[in-house]
C-alpha cells in the first residue's frame, strides 16, 4: 500500500506520526504534573519512577527485537523481560490507587494520574505500530 505513495508523501505521513507521538507524550506529562500541582500534593510523582523503570527491561534484555515480546518463547531473558515490564506497568496503576486508598491524594489527582498512564500506554502502542514495518501487529 505505501509502496505506491510518493516519497515526499511518505515523509509527510512519518512526520505526522512523530508529531502525534510528541503530542501524546506531552499530554501525559502535563496530566502528570497537573495531578500534583492542582492539588498541591506531590506524592503522585512517585509514579514517574515506574514510568522510568518501565522501558528498562525492554532496553536491557531484548534490545531492538521487540517482536519476541509478542510471541511465546522459552528464552529465560524474554520471560524475565515480560515479567519485569508487567510488574512496572501494574505498579504504575497501583501507586496512585494505594495513595488514594491511604487518603494521601484525592479523586481528581487519581483520575489525572490514571489518564496520564493510559495516554502513555496509547503513545507506546502507537510507537510500536509506527516502528513495525510489516503488517504483523495490525491489531495494535
Q: What are the cell numbers at 26?
A: 506531552
- 123 contacts 21 by C-beta, under 8 angstroms: yes
Q: Give the tens place of pLDDT for each residue, 12-70.
A: 777 888 888 899 999 999 999 999 999 999 999 999 998 888 888 877 776 655 566 66
Q: Inform me whether the pLDDT recorded for 101 exceeds 60.
A: yes
Q: Inform me whether the pLDDT recorded for 8 exceeds 90.
A: no
When the pLDDT of each residue in the chain is averaged and rounded to a whole number, the result is: 82
Residue 3: name the closest of 140, 128, 135, 138 by CA: 135
Count of C-beta atoms within a 10 Å radius of residue 93: 15
pLDDT, position 137 = 44
pLDDT, position 72 = 73
Contacts of 25 (CB under 8 A, 6+ apart): 120, 123
- 127 contacts 115 by C-beta, under 8 angstroms: no
Amino acid at each position: 500500500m505505501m509502496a505506491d505513495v510518493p516519497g515526499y508523501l511518505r515523509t509527510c505521513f512519518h512526520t505526522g506520526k512523530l508529531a502525534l507521538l510528541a503530542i501524546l507524550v506531552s499530554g501525559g506529562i502535563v496530566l502528570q504534573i497537573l495531578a500534583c500541582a492542582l492539588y498541591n500534593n506531590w506524592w503522585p510523582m512517585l509514579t514517574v519512577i515506574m514510568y522510568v523503570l518501565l522501558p528498562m527491561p525492554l532496553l536491557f534484555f531484548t534490545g531492538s527485537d521487540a517482536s519476541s515480546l509478542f510471541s511465546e518463547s522459552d528464552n529465560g531473558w524474554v520471560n524475565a523481560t515480560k515479567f519485569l515490564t508487567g510488574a512496572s506497568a501494574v505498579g504504575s496503576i497501583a501507586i496512585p490507587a494505594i495513595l488514594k486508598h491511604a487518603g494521601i491524594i484525592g479523586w481528581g489527582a487519581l483520575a489525572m494520574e490514571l489518564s496520564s498512564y493510559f495516554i502513555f500506554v496509547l503513545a507506546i502502542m502507537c510507537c510500536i505500530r509506527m516502528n513495525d514495518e510489516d503488517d504483523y501487529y495490525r491489531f495494535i
